[in-house]
Amino acid sequence: MINPGRERDDRGRVLVAEDDVEMRRLLAQSLRKDGYDVTECGDGFRLLDKLGDRLLAPEVLKHEPADYDLIISDIRMPGVTGLSVLEGTQMFEGFPPMILITAFGDEETHARAEQFGAVAVFDKPFEFEDLLAKVHEVLAATPHAKH
């Protein structure tokens, strides 16, 4: 499996899942401007698609290098929610860390996101600088640059 991100030794590979087209474009644009390799998808099912075989056999593939270094996902999306993806993946090794974006920023959502290991939760509307700073902080701490 050839991933275009692998060929560029840039600042990191980010998967953006957001169903609002404008929001997704903006996120992708901002991240690319900062030098990240961005992959976009518009709903929960496509997000699961991108995670690929790892979802089917997480234990087997846990030592395989991941395709992405970070996932930024909206919580409410058609199909599968970002929170469900978080809950389904973070208990296994080998999945990239997740930053969640939500408009229903209630305490319960934050608590669940934290419980299942989200790196950060951003309530809409948020400052893009804060999100970019967080992305930078997370990717600086992960060993993606070795690839």
Partner 1 sequence: MRLALKLISVTVLGIALVLAIDTFASVRRDITLFNADARHDSQVLGSAVSTMLRDVVRGGGQARALELLREVNAAQPSVELRWVWLGEPGEDPSQPQVSSKELEPVLKGENTLLTAKNHSGQECLFNYLPIAREGQRLGVLEISEPLTHLEAEHRAFILREALVMAGLIAFSGLAAVVLGAVWVGWPLSRLIEKVRCVGRGDLASPLRIRGRHEFGELALAINTMCGQLAESHEKVEREHAARIRTLQQLRHADRLTTVGSLASGIAHELGTPLNVISARAKLIAEGEVPQDEIPENARTIRAQAQRMTTIIRQLLDFARRRPLTKTQVDFREVADHVVDLLSPLARKRGVTLSLDGGAERLSTRIDLGQMEQVVTNLVVNAIQASPPGGAVVVALGHERARPRADPTAAATDYVRLSVEDHGTGIAAEDQPRVFEPFFTTKDIGEGTGLGLSIAHGIAQEHGGWIEFESEPERGSRFSLGLPMVEGALADDPSTGFQGNDNHERGGVR
In terms of C-beta density within 10 A (0-12 exposed, 13-18 middle, 19 or more buried), how is residue 100 classed?
buried
User: Does 126 help bind partner 1 (rule: CB under 8 A)?
Assistant: yes
Closest to partner 1 by CB, 20 vs 67, is 20
Q: How far apart are CA 22 and CA 27, in angstroms?
A: 9
Q: Interface with partner 1 by CB under 8 A: which range of 48-56, 60-68, 87-95, 122-130?
A: 122-130
Q: Could you say which residues in the range 60-119 bind partner 1, by CB under 8 A?
A: 76, 78, 103-106
| Whether 35 contacts 14, CB under 8 Å | no
Closest to partner 1 by CB, 105 vs 117, is 105
Under 8 Å CB-to-CB from 57, ≥6 apart: which residues? none
Residue ranges that bind partner 1, judged by CB under 8 A: 19-20, 22-23, 26, 30, 33, 43, 76, 78, 103-106, 123-126, 128
